[in-house]
C-alpha cells in the first residue's frame, strides 16, 4: 500500500491521523491496540487471598492501599543534580562503573509498616537513574551478588545486539558472584528502562526490586527548570512486610504478579514535588512494574506529551488528560506548576478510585512566564517514512494462558498444562533453540500483524527497534514511535518498522511472569 500523507513531520505521503491522545481525536475508544479509555483491566479491586477471582483478574486489581497509608515524599532535585539513587555514567576513557545487585531493605509502605527485604542496586532502595548526554558512552559493570542469574535489558535502547541484555539469547546470564560489562553508546536521546531479563528467570529479580532508568539527554534539551524521574514499581507483600512467594503458575497464566503496594523512585507513592508557581517541569514517567498495566491521569495540570517510549513527538495534550501505561512504557511530560491559589496538581494511576503517584504543589514566589511548550525536535536517525508496499509481512498469533468458565463468571481462571510453557507465539513457547519467527536482510521494511487470541490484554515489546502503529487499512500510522504497546484480548494490531539493526531480537511480553513462561520469540536481521 502507498502511504497517503500530507504532513511534513512524518514524511512525504504519510499524513498521520490524530494521535489517540489529542483532544480533537475520537478514534481512541475503538483503537484495536489501545482499547477503550477505561478498559476492564483497570477497574475493580483485587482480593488479598489467592487465587485471584475472574473479576479481579479482569479488573487489573486495585491496590489494597488505604488512603491513610499514602504518604508524601520529598521533592525531586534541580536538573543537573543527583536525584536519590541517581548515578552518572563514566566519561570517555573511564573504567566501567560498578552497578552491584545485592540484598537490601526498603520501606515500601509508610511507617509503622516494617521494612521489606529486597534486592537493590548498590544497596540503595531508590532505583538508579543513569544520566548521559547523547553521544556519550554507557560503561557499567553489573556485579551479581544475588542468588539468581542476572542480565540487564536496556528497554527501548536501539542497542548493539550483544548489549541488549537478554540472558540466554544475546549473552550468557551473569551467575551469582559473576560480573558483566555493558558498554554502548545510545543512538537516541530519551527515557529508557533498565530491567532484569533472563530467559525463564526475569520476574523474580524484578519483583524483588531490581529496576532503573536510563536518561539520555539531548544535546540541546528543552528549556525546563527541573527534570524529574518518576519510576513506578508495584510489590506483592505479605502481612508481615515480606515479599509474597514467586513462581506461582496461577499468576503467570493470568494477569501476572499484581502487587498491593506502589512505590515511586523506591518510596511509597505519592512523590511530592514542590516548586514555585510557573516552574516548568519535565517528568520522565516510566512503568517498571512486573505486570501492572494502568492508565495515568493528570489532575489539575495542563500536561503536554513531548516523547513516547523515549522518542520525541509533536507535543499534544492527552485526551481527557489520560494516557495508557502498560509495563515498559515511558512518557516525557512537560508542564508548568499551577499558581499558588490553585489546587495542587497530581499524576494519578487509575487503579480503583485512583492512586496518586505524584503531587505537584506550588510553593514560593512565582517565576516569570515561560514560552509556549514546543516539540523537543525530530529524531533524524529514524526513517521519515516506511514503504509499506514492499514490506516483508508476518502474522504472529499469541495464544495460551488461563481460561474462564462462562457458566461461572466469578470463578478464578483455570490453567492446565506445562507451567513453564503457558504462552506461545505461533504455537511455540519461547526458547533460545526455537527457529526464528522470521529472518530478514538489513534495512528491510517489516510489518507484523499481531493477534491476541488469549483471554487477557498483552503488553508487548519490540527489541532493538522503534515501530509505528499502523491504521487498520495500512493507509498511515499513528504520529509517534513506540517500542512497547498493549494489545487487547481478541484484537489484531499491525506494527511497521525498518529492520536496520543486525542481530537476534525479541518480540516479548513486558509482563515478566508471562515472559518467563513462554511469551516471547525472536527474529533475525542479517
Question: Per-domain residue ranges for the chain?
Answer: 41-68+227-362, 77-221, 388-525
| Residue 50: all three cell numbers together | 489467592
Sheet bearing 138-144, strands edge to edge? 116-121, 97-106, 138-144, 179-184
> CB burial class (10 A; 0-12, 13-18, 19+) of residue 8?
exposed
Is 508 a residue whose pLDDT tops 60? yes
Identify the band that residue 93 occupies on the pLDDT scale cut at 50, 70 and 90.
low
User: Average pLDDT, stretch 337-353?
Assistant: 91
Cα–Cα dist 213/195, whole Å: 9
CA distances from 35 to 147, 395, 455, 488, 491 (A): 40, 21, 14, 6, 9
Report the C-alpha gap between 504 and 438 in whole angstroms.
Answer: 10
Dist. CA 313–CA 485, nearest whole Å: 16
Identical fold at 41-68+227-362 and 77-221? yes
Grid cell in block for residue 145: 551478588
pLDDT of residue 117: 97
Average pLDDT taken over every residue of the chain: 85
Check if the beta carbon of residue 425 is closer than 8 Å to that of residue 484.
no
Q: What is the structure's pLDDT at 29?
A: 32
- Which class for 49: exposed (0-12), middle (13-18), buried (19 or more C-beta within 10 A)? exposed
d(CA 203, CA 160): 24
Q: Is 164 helix (H, G, I), strand (E, B) or coil?
A: coil
DSSP 56: H
Question: Max Cα separation, the chain?
Answer: 65
At 369 the pLDDT is: 87
- CA-CA distances (angstroms) from residue 448 to 388, 393, 462, 469? 11, 6, 11, 10
* C-alpha to C-alpha distance for 248 and 256, rounded to whole angstroms: 9
Residue 335, pLDDT above cutoff 50: yes
| CATH number, domain 41-68+227-362 | 2.60.40.420
Band (20; pLDDT cuts 50, 70, 90):
very low
Considering the domain delimited by 77-221, tell me its CATH architecture: Sandwich (2.60)
Compute the distance between CA of residue 307 and CA of residue 332 in angstroms, rounded to an integer. 5
Cα separations in angstroms, 420 against 19, 170, 233, 430: 38, 21, 25, 10
| In the chain, % of residues over pLDDT 90 | 76
What 3-state class would DSSP assign to 150?
strand
pLDDT band for position 407 (50/70/90)? confident
Q: How many CB atoms lie within 10 A of CB 417?
A: 10
Reported CATH class of domain 388-525: mainly beta
- pLDDT at residue 35, as a whole number: 37
**Out of 29-38, 56-65, 418-427, which region has the weakest mean confidence (pLDDT)?**
29-38
Phi, psi angles (nearest 5°) of residue 68: -65, -15
Main-chain phi, psi angles of 138, to 5 degrees: -100, 125
Amino acid at each position: 500500500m502507498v502511504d497517503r500523507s500530507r504532513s511534513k513531520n512524518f514524511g512525504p505521503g504519510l499524513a498521520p491521523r490524530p494521535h489517540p491522545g489529542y483532544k480533537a481525536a475520537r478514534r481512541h475508544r475503538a483503537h484495536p491496540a489501545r482499547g477503550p479509555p477505561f478498559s476492564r483491566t483497570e477497574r475493580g479491586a483485587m482480593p488479598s487471598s489467592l487465587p485471584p477471582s475472574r473479576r479481579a483478574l479482569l479488573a487489573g486489581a486495585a491496590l489494597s492501599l488505604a488512603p491513610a497509608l499514602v504518604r508524601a515524599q520529598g521533592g525531586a532535585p534541580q536538573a543537573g543534580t543527583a536525584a536519590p539513587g541517581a548515578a552518572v555514567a563514566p566519561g570517555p576513557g573511564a573504567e566501567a562503573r560498578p552497578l552491584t545487585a545485592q540484598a537490601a531493605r526498603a520501606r515500601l509502605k509508610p511507617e509503622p509498616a516494617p521494612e521489606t527485604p529486597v534486592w537493590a542496586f548498590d544497596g540503595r532502595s531508590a532505583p538508579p537513574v543513569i544520566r548521559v548526554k547523547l553521544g556519550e558512552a554507557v560503561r557499567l559493570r553489573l556485579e551479581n551478588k544475588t542468588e539468581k542469574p542476572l542480565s540487564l535489558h536496556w528497554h527501548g535502547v536501539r542497542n548493539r545486539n550483544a548489549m541488549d541484555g537478554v540472558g540466554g539469547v544475546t549473552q550468557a546470564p551473569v551467575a551469582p558472584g559473576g560480573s558483566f560489562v555493558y558498554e554502548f553508546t545510545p543512538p537516541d536521546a530519551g527515557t529508557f528502562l533498565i530491567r532484569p531479563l533472563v530467559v525463564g528467570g526475569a520476574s523474580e529479580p524484578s519483583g524483588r526490586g531490581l529496576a532503573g532508568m536510563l536518561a539520555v539527554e539531548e544535546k540541546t534539551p528543552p528549556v525546563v527548570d527541573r527534570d524529574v524521574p518518576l519510576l513506578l514499581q508495584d510489590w506483592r507483600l505479605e502481612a508481615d512486610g515480606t515479599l509474597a512467594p514467586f513462581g506461582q503458575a496461577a499468576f503467570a497464566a493470568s494477569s501476572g504478579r499484581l502487587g498491593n503496594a506502589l512505590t515511586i523512585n523506591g518510596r511509597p507513592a505519592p512523590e511530592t514535588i514542590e516548586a514555585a508557581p510557573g516552574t516548568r517541569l519535565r517528568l520522565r514517567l516510566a512503568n517498571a512494574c512486573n505486570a501492572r498495566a494502568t492508565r495515568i491521569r493528570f489532575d489539575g495540570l495542563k500536561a503536554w506529551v513531548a516523547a513516547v517510549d523515549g522518542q520525541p513527538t509533536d507535543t499534544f495534550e492527552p485526551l481527557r488528560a489520560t494516557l495508557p501505561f502498560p509495563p515498559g512504557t515511558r512518557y516525557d511530560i512537560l508542564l508548568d506548576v499551577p499558581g499558588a491559589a490553585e489546587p495542587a496538581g497530581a499524576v494519578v494511576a487509575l487503579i480503583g478510585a485512583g492512586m496518586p503517584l505524584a503531587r505537584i504543589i506550588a510553593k514560593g514566589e512565582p517565576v516569570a512566564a515561560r514560552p509556549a511548550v514546543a516539540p523537543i525536535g525530530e529524531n533524524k536517525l529514524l526513517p521519515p517514512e516506511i514503504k509499506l508496499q514492499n514490506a516483508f509481512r508476518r502474522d504472529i498469533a499469541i495464544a495460551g494462558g488461563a481460561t474462564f468458565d462462562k457458566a461461572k463468571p466469578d470463578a478464578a481462571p483455570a490453567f492446565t498444562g506445562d507451567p513453564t510453557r503457558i504462552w506461545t507465539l505461533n504455537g511455540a513457547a519461547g526458547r533460545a533453540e526455537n527457529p526464528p519467527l522470521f529472518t530478514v536482510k538489513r534495512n528491510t521494511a517489516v510489518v507484523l500483524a499481531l493477534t491476541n487470541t488469549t483471554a487477557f490484554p498483552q503488553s508487548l515489546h519490540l527489541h532493538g527497534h522503534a515501530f509505528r502503529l499502523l491504521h487498520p487499512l495500512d493507509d498511515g500510522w499513528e504520529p509517534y514511535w513506540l517500542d512497547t504497546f498493549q494489545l487487547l484480548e481478541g484484537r489484531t494490531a499491525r506494527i511497521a518498522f525498518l529492520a536496520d539493526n543486525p542481530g537476534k531480537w525479541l518480540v516479548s511480553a513486558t509482563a515478566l511472569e508471562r515472559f518467563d513462561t513462554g511469551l516471547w520469540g525472536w527474529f533475525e536481521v542479517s
